[in-house]
């Protein structure tokens, strides 16, 4: 712990003299932006836009050694070709050694309220998948619902349209993507499955890495912002998973996915709240499990609700949020055939903590998580977490 405090002090002293730009502390969900939206909004009118975000975390499970990790460092690069066409990219380094392209798409503005997009893009589901910069959410880690149910950060290759109906206070997105990878040949006459009971669809994200395309999937979201301080989101994702050509006709090689999600964000003076619920129905999981030997459930369900209160005066430049979050998530909400529901996959987390925004673009976080599941006699370790997040 002493080493963590020393590292934190060194890091904070380094960034204290740097110049930052306003970030999206979620005080007003109507004007909140993520990194891509900031680049597309023109960000200081420059042709080339550079930015980034990152987070360093310390996790201390009860009874185990703690771990320090540079969880992610991200470089944001955008280019404005002209008044209508822009390029957005996001390159992420995870755990110091894993490099990913998280976003890379071209945006063509047909009008002020309609844009066409193509490339590697975020799937609009829930809140965190689109707004995942560390200064935009409470807690050292993202909600578990947005890890095991919505497999954040969930991005795929595709094309689509986004825009607004200003008179209706309604925003919309609609895309055609490639889908999750479900199965592949293991090269030894067997079948490898990417989807499993513990974290559902997460292992099937293709992330734009030589993505297999068997059949397209459809994703859409509506956001309503007509009530001051309040924002609602309704999202859907529908289609089938993808399998390699040589096995795609096997019974169980693909499954069907229908996922729906509802989210809400609210802010009034020093109080903010948010929540979401996501449900996914999966078909042909009995055949998939028989083919791959996996334990994928036929339904995934999760929700959370969170409230936060700024302990500092509204006139202060700094903000100190005390927050509490309750979440319930079950990747075996339902099972098919002979597969018995695993109650260890029916989990709940209570997270209590503080988020101290020492300036726009820098947050220091600390929280304690009380973890449990529905399996009789199971013991799940609670966890203490600390983190530093930046976004510029």
Q: What is the mean pLDDT of residues 264-274?
A: 96
Q: What is the mean pLDDT of residues 157-166?
A: 97
**Residue 170, pLDDT score:** 97
Judged against a pLDDT cut of 60, whether residue 7 lies above it is answered with: no
**Residue 214, pLDDT score:** 86
Q: Where residue 154 falls among pLDDT bands split at 50, 70, 90?
A: very high
Question: For the chain, how long is the longest CA-to-CA vector?
Answer: 67
How is residue 124 annotated by DSSP?
-
In whole angstroms, give the CA distance from residue 361 to residue 225: 25
pLDDT in tens, 329-356: 999 999 999 999 999 999 999 999 999 9
Q: Where residue 188 falls among pLDDT bands split at 50, 70, 90?
A: confident
pLDDT in tens, 41-59: 875 567 899 999 999 999 9
**Residue 30, pLDDT score:** 64
pTM over 0.75: yes
| Inter-CA distances, 312 with 135, 319, 356, Å | 17, 6, 10
pLDDT in tens, 283-306: 999 999 999 999 999 999 999 999
Label residue 187 left, alpha or beta by phi (over 0 means left) and psi (-120 to 50 means alpha).
Answer: left
| Inter-CA distances, 104 with 76, 156, 159, 196, 213, Å | 10, 10, 12, 28, 18
In whole angstroms, give the CA distance from residue 179 to residue 166: 31
Judged against a pLDDT cut of 50, whether residue 176 lies above it is answered with: yes
| Inter-CA distances, 236 with 23, 63, 125, 150, 195, Å | 28, 41, 7, 12, 20
**Residue 9, pLDDT score:** 41
**Residue 345, pLDDT score:** 98
**Residue 284, pLDDT score:** 97
In whole angstroms, give the CA distance from residue 308 to residue 272: 5
Q: Is 172 helix (H, G, I), strand (E, B) or coil?
A: strand
pLDDT in tens, 308-320: 999 999 999 999 9
Handedness of CA 119, 147, 387, 1 (dihedral sign): negative
Q: Where residue 22 falls among pLDDT bands split at 50, 70, 90?
A: very low
Judged against a pLDDT cut of 90, whether residue 359 lies above it is answered with: yes
Q: What is the mean pLDDT of the chain?
A: 91
**Residue 45, pLDDT score:** 62
CA dihedral 326, 150, 142, 171 (to 10 degrees): -90
Q: What percent of the chain has pLDDT over 90?
A: 83
**Residue 201, pLDDT score:** 98
Residue range(s) defining the domain that contains residue 39? 2-391
In whole angstroms, give the CA distance from residue 200 to residue 182: 11
**Residue 43, pLDDT score:** 57
Q: Where residue 40 falls among pLDDT bands split at 50, 70, 90?
A: confident
Instruction: Kindly provide the b/e burial profile for residues 213-247, where b requires at least 16 CB atoms within 10 angstroms of the residue's own CB.
Output: ebeebebbbbbebeeebbbbbebbbebbbbbbeeb
Determine phi and psi for 4, rounding to 5 degrees.
-65, -45
pLDDT in tens, 201-244: 999 999 999 999 889 999 999 999 999 999 999 999 999 999 99
Total tally of structural domains belonging to the chain: 1
The CATH number of the domain holding residue 374 is 2.40.160.10
Greater model confidence, 195 or 83: 195
- 175 token code pair: 């895309």
Q: Where residue 265 falls among pLDDT bands split at 50, 70, 90?
A: very high
Burial of 203 (0-12, 13-18, 19+ CB in 10 A): middle
pLDDT in tens, 23-35: 445 466 766 788 8
pLDDT in tens, 131-152: 999 999 999 999 999 999 999 9
**Residue 44, pLDDT score:** 55
Q: Where residue 321 falls among pLDDT bands split at 50, 70, 90?
A: very high
Judged against a pLDDT cut of 60, whether residue 19 lies above it is answered with: no
pLDDT in tens, 92-126: 999 999 999 999 999 999 999 999 999 999 999 99
């Amino acid at each position: 712990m002493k080493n963590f405090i020393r590292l934190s002090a060194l890091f904070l002293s380094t960034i204290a003299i740097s110049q930052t730009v306003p970030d999206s502390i979620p005080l007003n969900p109507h004007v909140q932006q993520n990194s891509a939206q900031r680049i597309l909004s023109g960000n200081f009118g420059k042709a080339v836009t550079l930015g980034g975000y990152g987070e360093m975390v310390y996790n201390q499970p009860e009874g185990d050694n703690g771990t320090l990790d540079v969880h992610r460092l991200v470089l944001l690069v955008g280019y404005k070709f002209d008044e209508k066409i822009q390029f957005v990219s996001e390159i992420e380094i995870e755990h110091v050694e894993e490099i990913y392209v998280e976003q890379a798409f071209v945006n063509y503005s047909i009008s002020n309220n309609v844009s066409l997009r193509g490339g590697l893009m975020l799937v609009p589901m829930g809140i965190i998948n689109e707004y995942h910069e560390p200064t935009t959410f409470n807690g050292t880690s993202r909600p578990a619902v947005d890890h095991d149910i919505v497999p954040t950060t969930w991005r795929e290759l595709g094309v689509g349209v986004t825009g607004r109906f200003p008179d209706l206070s309604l925003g919309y997105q609609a895309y055609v993507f490639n889908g999750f990878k479900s199965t592949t040949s293991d090269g030894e006459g067997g079948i490898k499955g990417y989807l499993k009971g513990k974290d559902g669809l997460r292992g099937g994200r293709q992330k734009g890495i030589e993505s297999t395309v068997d059949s397209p999937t459809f994703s859409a979201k509506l956001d309503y912002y007509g009530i001051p301080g309040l924002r609602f989101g309704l999202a859907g994702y529908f289609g089938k998973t993808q399998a390699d050509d040589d096995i795609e006709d096997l019974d169980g090689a693909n499954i069907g996915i229908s996922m729906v999600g509802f989210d809400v964000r609210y802010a009034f003076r020093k109080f903010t709240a948010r929540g979401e619920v996501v449900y996914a129905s999966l078909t042909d999981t009995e055949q998939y499990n028989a083919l791959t030997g996996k334990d994928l459930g036929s339904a995934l369900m999760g929700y959370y609700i969170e409230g936060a209160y700024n302990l500092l005066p509204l006139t202060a430049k700094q903000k100190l949020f005390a927050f509490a979050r309750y979440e319930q998530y079950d990747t075996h909400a339902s099972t098919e055939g002979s597969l018995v529901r695993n109650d260890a996959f029916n989990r709940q987390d209570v997270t209590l903590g503080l988020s101290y925004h020492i300036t726009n673009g820098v947050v220091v976080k600390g929280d304690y998580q009380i973890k449990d599941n529905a399996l009789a006699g199971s013991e799940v370790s609670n966890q203490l977490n600390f983190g530093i997040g930046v976004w510029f």
